[in-house]
Structure 1
Amino acid sequence: MSEDTKPQSDPAVEAELAGVPEEMLEKETDKLGDALDRLRDDLEAAKQEVLYAKAETQNVRRRLEKDIADTRAYAATAFARDILSVSDNLSRALDSIPAELREDDKLKNLVAGIEATARELDKVFGLHGISRIAAVGLPLDPNQHQAMLEVPHAEAQPGTVLQELQAGYMIKDRLLRPAMVAVAKKPE
């Protein structure tokens, strides 16, 4: 060590240590070294605990943000399920009107009003991420369709949806209500 980098010694400390045996100094130095090592280990453990706590805090924050986003996106789910019956009833009302009554001058405005209401309801569904599930002519998808009955059919591939008994809907990427369908099976 050069003279410039050598630690300055305190004359009072040197005078006090002058009468202490070398062996005792080494023991005390070893004790201090062990204590310093324990403190370094404790510091490293504390650093790791802080890192783990930070990581856990970030994970909790991310989960909370995802839960909040899901709550916003799917808050209307219960209401949407309830309002689907209104859509079903409008569709049934329109389907039940015979063609000759649709042309009757007395009922034209009524039919037009029901059709406009159905279109407006579909528009509102679209604004809130509610979409109708395609069914007829597609293979049965158990994640979106609920097979209510099987119909023997020579031309259709078994498992193909032949008829939609009740429309199914999705809200964003989640199933709101499965489509209830009739599915083709091989004729006996």
Structure 2
Amino acid sequence: MNDQEKNTQIAQETEIREEQVAPEATPEVATESAGATTATESPETTTTEGEAPQEKTKETTQETQEQQELSPDEKIQNLEATIESLKQELIRTKNELEKTTAQLQAAIAQYRNLQADFDRFRERTSKEKQELEFQVKKRVITALLPTVDNFERARSQIKPANDGEMAIHRSYQGVYKTFVEGLKQLGVSAMRAENQPFDPNYHEALLREPTNEYPEGTVIEQLTRGYMLDGVVLRHAQVKVAVPLETESAPAESQSPPEQPQEEKGEENN
């Protein structure tokens, strides 16, 4: 084999080796390429997720730059406008507060009026109830008073002649006593009229007796007992009242001719 053939063979072997080595290196290159691609895509993804905060930061930066770019007069005008807006808001809030306060005061006044009306209604109802109870009790007791009068007349007029009559008399008086005690528990009390000055608020004068033994206007005798119910007159006492004796009439005046007028006397003299 000559030198030319040897060189050709060596060249062929070298090519075969290079072809064998090339496929083994391909995965590494692919891995590196993928890593590069991922590295390239990651900043884009990060940029997309952080896009909103970056935009806000940009807006704030722009506003700050705009404020920095404003002149002092413009800044003062902006502040004055802001203050005026706050004043208007304060006025609106104050008006709403006053309106709410007025509504609250009106509601409180209405509540107090309703409470006062209810108290008056309750008081009036209580008085009406008491008055109704009093009137009913008064009518019932007034209807029973003639029975009491009959017991008192029987006690003063009946004179028991024997033990049997006395026993009956005591039995009737026991009933009378029980009856009177029941009336006392209901608030009934008897008047004491004899030897008292006549008072039309409590007494009813049926008879008048001329006498000098008692002062004028004194109750001499009680004909029918009077009664009170809870301090109110239930029935006036019927009484006899003393009046003074009639005095003798004054003597008649002596008859004398009337005096003539002065003019007539003068004419007669002439």
> Is the TM value for this pair above 0.5?
yes
CA distance in 1 between counterparts of 2:108 and 2:163 reads 83
Q: What is the number of equivalent residue pairs in this alignment?
A: 167
- The higher relative CO (CA closer than 8 Å, separation ≥ 6) is in 1
Bigger drift between 106-115 and 171-180 goes to 106-115
Offset at residue 84 of structure 1 (A): 0.4
Of the candidates 173, 196, 202, which is equivalent to residue 138 of structure 1? Answer: 196
Paired position in structure 1 for 2:122? 61
Paired position in structure 2 for 1:174? 232
CA distance in 2 between counterparts of 1:187 and 1:42 reads 80
Change in 2 beyond 3 A, CA 1:74/1:173 = farther
Paired position in structure 1 for 2:145? 84
Offset at residue 154 of structure 1 (A): 0.6
What TM-score do you get using the length of structure 1 for normalisation? Answer: 0.74
| Counterpart residue identity of residue 81, structure 1 | T
- 1:8-27 deviation line (CA, Å, top 9, x unaligned): xxxxxxxxxx9x89778766
CA distance in 2 between counterparts of 1:42 and 1:182 reads 71
Residues 1:154 and 2:212 aligned together: yes
| Counterpart residue identity of residue 126, structure 2 | E
Offset at residue 184 of structure 1 (A): 1.3
Bigger drift between 70-79 and 41-50 goes to 70-79
Paired position in structure 1 for 2:44? none
Of the candidates 96, 118, 133, which is equivalent to residue 157 of structure 2? Answer: 96
Partner SS state of residue 103, structure 2: helix
Partner SS state of residue 99, structure 2: helix
Indicate the structure (1 or 2) with the bigger Cα radius of gyration. 2
Gaps of 5+ in 1: 1-17
| Counterpart residue identity of residue 154, structure 1 | N
Cα contact 1:163–1:182 (8 A) shared by 2: yes
Paired position in structure 2 for 1:117? 175
Offset at residue 186 of structure 1 (A): 1.6
Structure having the higher strand fraction is 1
CA distance in 2 between counterparts of 1:123 and 1:130 reads 9
Gaps of 5+ in 2: 1-78, 247-270
Cα contact 1:165–1:182 (8 A) shared by 2: yes
Paired position in structure 2 for 1:39? 100
Partner SS state of residue 222, structure 2: strand
| Counterpart residue identity of residue 179, structure 2 | L
CA distance in 2 between counterparts of 1:76 and 1:187 reads 44
Paired position in structure 1 for 2:63? none
Cα contact 1:169–1:175 (8 A) shared by 2: yes
CA distance in 1 between counterparts of 2:173 and 2:150 reads 12
Offset at residue 47 of structure 1 (A): 0.9
Of the candidates 83, 93, 109, which is equivalent to residue 48 of structure 1? Answer: 109
CA distance in 2 between counterparts of 1:172 and 1:58 reads 26
RMSD: 2.6
- 1:46-97 deviation line (CA, Å, top 9, x unaligned): 2112112112222322333344445455642111000101111122222222
| Counterpart residue identity of residue 154, structure 2 | A
